[in-house]
Amino acid sequence: MPGSIAPLLALALMSPLPAHAPAGAPAPTAMDAYVRDHREATGVPGLAYAVVGPDGIEHQALFGHDGNGAPVTDETPFLWGSVAKPVTATAALVLADEGRLDLDAPVEEYLPDVAAFGARPTVRDLLTQTSGLTETAAFPVSDHYGPDAPDTAERVRRVADSPVGEPGTHEYSSTNYLLLGAVIERVAGDTDAHLRTSVLDPAGMDGAFTGSAEADAAGLAPGHRILWGLPVADAGGVDDEGTAFGYLGGDLTDLAAFARMQLQADPAVLDADALARARTGMVPVPGAAQRYGFGWRETTLSGTDTPVVFHGGATPGHAAILVLLPDQERAVVVLQNHYDVLRDGQIQGVAFGLARLLSGTEPDPAPRFTAGAAVPWAATGAALALAAGVVAALRVRRPRPAATAVWTALGLGAVGAAAWPLSTLGPHGALTWAPDTAVALLAAAVLGVAVTAIRLTRHLRPGSR
């Protein structure tokens, strides 16, 4: 079908830096050239980015096309993934500022079903993701589309029954913001409506959408998943219960408006000090030189002492990231209409490259190859090899013990390789986020069982020696 496998031929549309651009800012042509290199390296079909200051967008560039083949404009809608989290955190802080939400109250006071969870997290713990909820708990309760998707109450019950991790230690999990959205709903009556009245509308995010109906009205095109290296526009789902943790969306000007609000001395939501406190890293992120605040990550650009505050996000077919540079009073916003979980760093790295340019540091070149890109091919190769092994096993009459041992080891290895993503992501999560790898691993596992069973059966039968 035309447009399903996206060509990479669209030209960029550029807007110049206005007269009020900061002295010493990199030339727009340098930033745009860097983004073109990123697109060539990653194969992204459509991308929009902006440099934002306290007065609004100072430069933007638009590249490629959406999942329906239309050119990307500054009004092209994208899903923002977990960039929804700082927006949701801001909406929760508005309720706290109004005295309607106690950040230090146990979550079970608002959601009684959470009493079944093996820890007693507070609302503040949800904001900083230190509740004891695990990363794997999120996969069964997120990314569900259509009328048969579980409602929020059912998802809360499933989360409450999940194993406890390490309360007090940061572990990134969308279940935290799923519960936070449910808390907002309990307090304000409707999560999406409160997001709109407390943050989206005051900030000027007029085109932002919540839920599938608004996404359809906005003209959201399917995003691209990467199947064996090719971007395929097949990711059109919107989780109607997932606005708070990942299914908020809008166009470039909408996310730029949220970034602008973070830089203003007199923001439309809360006040500058309250927003700065929310962005301040409060808990260390294990394994990273970062600290997590209320829906924000605080760190420095690698190899420099330049402070940055950011949050990235993705849905199966879209990627988004917002990077604030407090010292420069600037922000970078990037929206892309493809995503590959095995190449997350390569895809999102464009925003940090732009941030380095803004801070006067040369960005690292976009990598042309990452190990993640080879994973689906390696899994597919293993499946084909095991298929050949099944054919050979069916033909052999007198199997050799050494050959049986080798094929049994290969077959059981394939089963083990498939068991890890299935146990971590679950079948739903694996097929949603990495369909090519998941299908290839499942095929390899089935063929591994078959070649092992055939070899052992023929080796052990009477007269086989």
- What are φ and ψ of residue 275, in 5° steps? -65, -40
Residues in the chain: 465
pLDDT in tens, 144-159: 999 999 999 999 999 9
Residue 175: per-residue pLDDT = 98
Within 65-194, strands assigned E span: 78-79
Indicate if the pLDDT at residue 14 is higher than 70: no
Q: Give burial (CB, 10 Å; 0-12/13-18/19+) of 289.
A: exposed
Q: d(Cα 264, Cα 324) in Å, to the nearest integer?
A: 12
Contact 455, 404 (CB under 8 A): yes
Q: Higher confidence at residue 7 or residue 380?
A: 380
- What are φ and ψ of residue 323, in 5° steps? -120, 120
Contact 306, 300 (CB under 8 A): yes
Q: d(Cα 49, Cα 35) in Å, to the nearest integer?
A: 9
Q: d(Cα 281, Cα 295) in Å, to the nearest integer?
A: 9
Mean pLDDT of all residues in 179-188 = 98
Q: d(Cα 196, Cα 206) in Å, to the nearest integer?
A: 9
pLDDT in tens, 99-124: 999 999 999 999 999 999 999 999 99
Q: d(Cα 258, Cα 264) in Å, to the nearest integer?
A: 10
Residue 5: per-residue pLDDT = 28
Q: How many CB atoms lie within 10 A of CB 288?
A: 11
Residue 364: per-residue pLDDT = 81
- What are φ and ψ of residue 298, in 5° steps? -115, 130
Q: Which of these, 215, 219, 223, 217, lies nearest to 249 by C-alpha position?
A: 215
Contact 166, 140 (CB under 8 A): no
Q: Which helix (H) or strand (E) holds 255?
A: helix 252-263
For 333, the token pair is 């916003």
Q: d(Cα 96, Cα 256) in Å, to the nearest integer?
A: 25
Indicate if the pLDDT at residue 11 is higher than 70: no
Three-state DSSP at 273 gives helix
- What are φ and ψ of residue 6, in 5° steps? -80, 130
Residue 464: per-residue pLDDT = 52
Q: Higher confidence at residue 400 or residue 168?
A: 168
Q: What angle do CA 10, 11, 17 make, to 5 degrees?
A: 145
Q: Which helix (H) or strand (E) holds 13?
A: strand 13-15
Residue 463: per-residue pLDDT = 53
Lowest mean pLDDT of 17-31, 169-183, 387-401, name the range.
17-31
Three-state DSSP at 122 gives strand
Indicate if the pLDDT at residue 346 is higher than 60: yes
Strand 209-210 and strand 46-53: pairing? Answer: unpaired
Mean pLDDT of all residues in 408-419 = 89
pLDDT in tens, 275-327: 999 999 999 999 999 999 999 999 999 889 999 999 999 999 999 999 999 99
Q: d(Cα 279, Cα 239) in Å, to the nearest integer?
A: 27
Q: d(Cα 367, Cα 282) in Å, to the nearest integer?
A: 32
236 pLDDT band, cuts 50/70/90, is very high
Q: d(Cα 413, Cα 387) in Å, to the nearest integer?
A: 14
- pTM listed for this prediction: 0.90
Mean pLDDT of all residues in 52-81 = 98
Q: d(Cα 316, Cα 224) in Å, to the nearest integer?
A: 8
Q: Give burial (CB, 10 Å; 0-12/13-18/19+) of 402.
A: exposed
Rg of the Cα atoms in the chain? 24
Q: d(Cα 239, Cα 81) in Å, to the nearest integer?
A: 11
Q: d(Cα 118, Cα 153) in Å, to the nearest integer?
A: 18
